[in-house]
């Protein structure tokens, strides 16, 4: 049977001569032979066989279990999102917490708690789409209330600066859209989404909370921002991203 011979010398690469190609490797010469015609495929290798009924039942039950797990996780996280806003609505209505601090705590907790909920979803490829339902519904919710289609004074009071419904269509809506995009395109597989959400929720949130209270030393190029606020942004963003 004719072969194409490939020999690998241990010495520095010699001139390539056809049909033998010399490639430098150490420590010894290897001779590889490539048969010119395809190797005989052993019988049964790579031949598709229909799964047995028992195996089909197992596949179906695993898929149903994952679907139930993801559905339950989605409902639980949606309930968590609603409860979070309701809790801060309760606190701000009774003046137990100032509005700005309420907004920033919702800002921090929404992203951090949402990422923390990701492990309760299944390991199937469809899990991210179930998880994405949560920010999607909250996006629709913010648009509906921001456009005045419905009224929710508690939501407006706990997540806006001045208590105007139009504000829902700016910071909060952008924030939840970022949650949606990171869930769909990065999910648990890529650190890009996790680091981005950690910086957006934990970092930016604490930059405001710390900077507004202790930020006397302002940045030279931006008198609205302070050194302690910027340091808090990176410190808490980093801590939440590795957390
Ligand atoms: C207040 C928020 C953003 C404000 O940004 P900025 O004005 O400071 O620029 C965040 C708004 C959050 C939203 C109302 C609720 C989002 C819930 C989230 C999708 C899911 C959280 C689930 C978790 C289990 C609580
Ligand atoms: N790097 C930073 C960021 C915010 N801050 C403080 O936090 C307040 C809100 O900053 P921000 O840019 O997060 O404000 P928003 O535009 O998010 O409402 C600022 O007015 C500063 O008092 C800071 O001192 N240093």
Amino acid 230: pLDDT:
95
- CA–centroid distance, 133 to ligand 1, in Å, is 14
How do residues 83-94 score in pLDDT, each as one tens digit?
999 999 999 889
- CA–centroid distance, 233 to ligand 2, in Å, is 10
How do residues 162-206 score in pLDDT, each as one tens digit?
989 999 999 999 999 999 999 999 999 899 999 999 999 999 999
Mean pLDDT of 74-103: 92
Percentage of the residues of the chain whose pLDDT score is greater than 70: 80
Cα–Cα distance, 152 to 157 (Å, whole number)? 9
Q: Is any ligand 2 atom within 6 A of the Cβ of residue 170?
A: no
Mean pLDDT of 135-150: 96
* CB contact set of 26 (below 8 Å; sequence gap of 6+): 10
Q: Of how many residues is the chain composed?
A: 243
C-beta neighbour count of 7 within 10 angstroms: 15
Mean pLDDT of 103-124: 95
Amino acid 50: pLDDT:
79
Q: Out of 8-17, 23-32, 39-48, give the one with best mean pLDDT.
A: 39-48
Ligand 2 pocket: which of 101, 111, 209, 211 to mutate (most atoms within 8 A of CB): 211
- CA–centroid distance, 215 to ligand 2, in Å, is 9
Residue with tokens 């919702």: 106
The token pair at 71 is 């559905």
- Lining ligand 1 with CB less than 6 A are 77, 80-81, 84-85, 103, 106-107, 110, 113-114, 117, 134-135, 138, 159, 171-172, 175-176, 179
Q: How confident is the model at residue 105 (pLDDT cuts 50, 70, 90)?
A: very high
ipTM of this complex: 0.92
pLDDT higher for 159 or 29? 159
- CA–centroid distance, 110 to ligand 1, in Å, is 5
Which atom of ligand 2 approaches the CA of 215 most closely? 24
Q: Is residue 1 scored above 60 in pLDDT?
A: no
Cα–Cα distance, 111 to 126 (Å, whole number)? 21
Q: Is residue 7 scored above 50 in pLDDT?
A: no
Tell me, yes or no, if the pTM score tops 0.80.
no
């Amino acid at each position: 049977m004719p072969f194409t011979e490939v020999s690998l010398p241990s010495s520095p690469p010699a001139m390539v001569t056809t049909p033998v190609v010399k490639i430098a490797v150490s420590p010894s010469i290897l001779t590889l032979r490539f048969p010119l015609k395809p190797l005989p495929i052993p019988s049964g290798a790579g031949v598709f066989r229909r799964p047995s009924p028992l195996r089909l039942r197992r596949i179906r039950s695993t898929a149903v279990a994952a679907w139930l797990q993801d559905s339950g996780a989605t409902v639980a996280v949606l309930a968590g999102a609603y409860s979070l806003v309701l809790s801060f609505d309760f606190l701000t209505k009774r003046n137990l917490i100032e509005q700005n601090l309420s907004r920033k705590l919702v800002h921090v907790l929404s992203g951090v708690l949402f990422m923390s909920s990701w492990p309760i979803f299944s390991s199937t490829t469809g899990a991210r789409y179930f998880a994405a339902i949560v920010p999607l519904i909250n996006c629709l919710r913010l648009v509906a209330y921001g456009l005045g289609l419905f009224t929710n004074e508690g939501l407006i009071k706990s997540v806006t600066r001045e208590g105007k419904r139009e504000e829902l269509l700016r910071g909060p809506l952008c924030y939840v859209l970022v949650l949606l995009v990171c869930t769909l395109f990065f999910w648990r597989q890529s650190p890009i989404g996790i680091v981005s959400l950690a910086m957006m929720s934990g970092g930016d949130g604490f930059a405001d909370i710390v900077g507004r209270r202790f930020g006397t030393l302002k940045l030279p190029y931006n008198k609205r921002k302070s050194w302690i606020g910027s340091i808090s942004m990176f410190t808490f963003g980093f801590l939440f991203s590795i957390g």
